[in-house]
Structure 1
């Protein structure tokens, strides 16, 4: 009986405010007259207190009268004012904490150091002093700015908390998505630690896709396929990544990744934890490898030797830049080329060709070594051809780059460029140089006609690149017919048996079920009537899961495919800025937190983070 009595719950009734001048505040019944509190909101307790301590209030303020109502309202206002004295600092502290999180997020987005929070705060105060000079509450504004906690340690903790919140949002999306693909790439940071970057592309039930940084894993020792596999499996076991949703893996094509026996992909396919998945070599990497097939070594060697002779010595570089200023050249310096930077060769050759007259004059004035090639019309024509062709390759490379690039769009771009190469070859046969502006300009300068020259050597170079494109881009050949069908499933000449077999070989579905769904879709009058051209890719949302299970899953899988490792390359560019020589001692955990905040599309929940923090103002 005693235990039952102790566990009984009492509820405060709003009528007791006017009956006994009590209100319920902070889990206690508080007297409006003397501010005394009663732990249990029992009617008897409140009535006894009121009639014993404040019995004269019954005479001064009669029950159920307007006078008593006004008095209760007045006393409630006074109590609220008293309580606000204590809650106001907490409110200000929470606002300062939220502002601290927001500023820390901006610093992380822009890859700034943790200690830059103090600089932001100092600049904020200085700007506020000028901006709010005529405001009446200027002192309050500046005081609120000074309340922000932006010390180095605080910004570090803020970034850690926000990274955990963003990671939690990502984990929830991975659990909710229908399927996902991964892309892997590896690079070294400023202290030569190998960092394995992993990006994920998730596809959800509404056919929406999202690309996010999954993790970056440090490889302290070797970077063999087995080391990469072990590091990734440790991450999978730690985070409980649902590998059964995996559709494909895209890599940079390095031996450690694609080795037949001990490469990362081979080890994944041997593991029982991985489902049957597709694997691809990055389209952008393959395009860069195709570009190297150009056999123009004699042109590049001479051009590089000339540029290095000018750029290698500080005096020569200063004199050359002064020469460019005197002649009024459009550019002020020469560019260097390195094979690691895929676009640098095209930019290097374009700048060299544009400054060729100035280079010749400078070499004569400075009495440098003589280069007979600069007067050889065939070498100059080869230089112009190489400049034009690398410029076209650079434009194609840039077209393949970017976030949210669908693999179908990338395959289309590759096919378009192959057709363009064939067109260039045909035009060279007809002595048409409309796609080669540098060659046209060089022929006009020499006063020669292209018909008089040997066009076969240039046509051979174009054909060699075209053949290399045909050879390398066979990985995506099995996707193209499936992608064409999914983009337009109501074509007039659809071979049901052929399309079904390609889908089955790609994603291992049941052949009979796929054929039945294709035939059903072709004769579905309702779906056909709603399949308009302005549906913005939402066609597959019209298909029900029960009726078109395999075709919907095929659409999900195709949407999830990565075409390149562009996102990993971008992450490494961010990493070079975040972990620079000035922040070389940054830990791996802090690198991952900063990289996640800098690249993620998720926004941290500032309110939730502030609620879990001690909202104290800056001291």
Structure 2
């Protein structure tokens, strides 16, 4: 940490099996050669309340104890929970933003698919509720329909599996004499199911793309922007009744013997539009990080505001960069390392700072998953110190 140029922090709070609150703190350090290193900084234990002020004071005590050089801090990423969001005069100016993966999942939850999920979940639970019914269903399908919890990835997989097993489910209800669900024979409901299956699969692909270690915030925002552009394009194609990107919807139309031009495309493009509007609203905090075709003075003003620099100095460097033939001819590999401290001090500082930014709280969430395995109900008396060192080894 002493050797790095800047660092950013990623914070997440959860409880273990003994109801002890834990806050994981990860650090991303960026060095003068613009290489980055991610590490578990510490695990802080909170025995009493977990209000915002309690979390802050616990972290502040850690800073004072370790003499963490806070003047190098450029950003803090949290899960957006009220207790994890806030500012204090004891900290320097830094960017504080909500985990990109969490925001993407919240955008997905804005879809108006409650009727689809409620019926599908009720059917799945009715089969799994009784041992006899579950055995009979297994005997007819050889596979069990797995239900899901609230997590978005599981919801998407659940819809896909449910739709695949729809014929077997209908046959099972017919043979077993159980009360049938009219929605399974409702053409419009089945079309809606097929559409939301396609849409949740697309959202799942984005969610998986955003996960993982060593993800730069710029790459994650690029992925989100690419998804938005794709969805706008898919929506336009859907209005033309081109279902190349909605295979489940096309398959359901074929099963029902309906031509594509009879599909009420506007009904579905409205859902896509609402979802994209939510994306625009939730990701507006990152608009300054997105490249745009703007005037040099406006771009310089944005950069200077974001990184607390002199606007005229940034403007001068941008103009110099635009005409730097030598730099353009060598622009490959470690591009930002070509920016010398003497010639481009401000732009180089921007590059180093951006490299430090955490785009999500993925590392914290992964750590909590390991924690639940390490400190299980069979090892509930494990000490905090023992848990921390085991967690450090695990990750």
Could you tell me which of 276, 293, 297 is aligned with 2:114? 297
Other-structure match for 1:184: 11
Q: Which residue does the alignment assign to 1:223?
A: 50
Residues in 1 aligned to 2:50 and 2:76: alpha-carbon distance in whole angstroms: 18
**In structure 1, what is the Cα distance between the partners aligned to 2:84 and 2:149?**
24
- Other-structure match for 2:318: 518
Q: Distance in 2 between matches of 1:422 and 1:530?
A: 36
Q: Distance in 2 between matches of 1:522 and 1:381?
A: 52
| Contact kept? 1:575, 1:595, Cα under 8 Å | yes
Distance 1:238 1:311 in 2: 53
Query: How far has the Cα of 1:519 moved from its partner?
Result: 3.1
Distance 1:391 1:589 in 2: 41
1:443 corresponds in structure 2 to 253
CA distance 1:434–1:523, change in 2 (3 Å): closer
Alignment of 1:127-276 (within 5 A): 174-258=1-85, 265-266=86-87, 270-272=88-90, 274-276=91-93
Between the two structures, name the one with larger relative contact order (CA 8 Å, sep ≥ 6): 2
Q: Which has the larger radius of gyration?
A: 1
Size of the aligned set, in residue pairs, is 395
Cα pair 1:184 1:249 within 8 Å, conserved: yes
Structure 1: stretches of 5+ with no match in the other structure:
1-173, 259-264, 326-331, 485-492, 600-619
Does residue 1:348 correspond to 2:158, yes or no? Answer: yes
In the alignment, the residues of structure 2 paired with residue 312 and residue 452 of structure 1 have an alpha-carbon distance, to the nearest angstrom, of 39
Cα pair 1:184 1:565 within 8 Å, conserved: yes
Distance 1:542 1:298 in 2: 55
After TM superposition, give the deviation of residue 336 of structure 1 in Å.
1.0
In the TM superposition, what are the counterparts of 1:454-465 in structure 2 within 5 Å? Answer: 454-465=264-275
Q: Which TM-score applies when normalising by structure 2?
A: 0.96
Does 1:495 pair with 2:313?
no
| C-alpha separation in 2, matches of 1:385 and 1:522 | 46
In the TM superposition, what is the alpha-carbon distance from 1:525 to its structure 2 partner? 4.5
2:152 alignment partner, SS class: coil
Q: Is the 8 A contact 1:407 1:561 kept in 2?
A: yes
- 2:202 pairs with 1:384: no
Alpha-carbon separation, structure 2, partners of 1:271 and 1:200: 21
Counterparts of 2:166 and 2:285, CA distance in 1? 42
What is residue 561 of structure 1 aligned with on the other side?
357
2:308 is the alignment partner of 1:508: yes
The 5 A counterparts of 1:281-320 are 281-320=98-137
1:590 corresponds in structure 2 to 386
3-state secondary structure, aligned to 2:2:
helix
By how many angstroms is 1:516 displaced?
A: 2.6
C-alpha distance in 1, partners of 2:141/2:134?
Answer: 11
Q: Which deviates more from structure 2 when the two are superposed, residues 518-527 or residues 445-454?
A: 518-527
Partner Cα distance (1:381, 1:460) in 2: 15
Give the secondary structure class of the aligned counterpart of 2:75.
Answer: strand
Q: 1:544 aligns with which of 340, 344, 347?
A: 340
CA RMSD in angstroms comes to: 1.5
Does the CA-based 8 Å contact 2:241-2:263 persist in structure 1?
no
Describe the SS at the equivalent of 1:175: coil
**Counterparts in 2 of 1:85-100, with a 5 A limit?**
none
Closer/same/farther in 2, CA of residues 527 and 580 from structure 1, 3 Å limit: same
Q: Deviations over 1:464-483 (max 9, x none)?
A: 111111111101101113xx
Per the alignment, residue 335 of structure 1 pairs with 146
Task: Measure, in 2, the Cα distance between the counterparts of 1:500 and 1:372.
Answer: 60
Q: Report the Cα offset of residue 528 of structure 1.
A: 3.8
State TM-score, norm by structure 1: 0.62
Secondary structure of 1:221's counterpart equals coil
Of 408, 415, 419, the residue aligned with 2:218 is 408
Question: Is the CA contact 1:217–1:231 (under 8 Å) kept in the aligned structure 2?
Answer: yes
Q: Tell me the residue number matched to 2:233.
A: 423
Hey, what's the Cα distance between the residues in 2 that align with 1:438 and 1:377?
14
Name the structure 2 match of 1:29. Answer: none
Equivalent residue of 1:391, what SS? Answer: helix
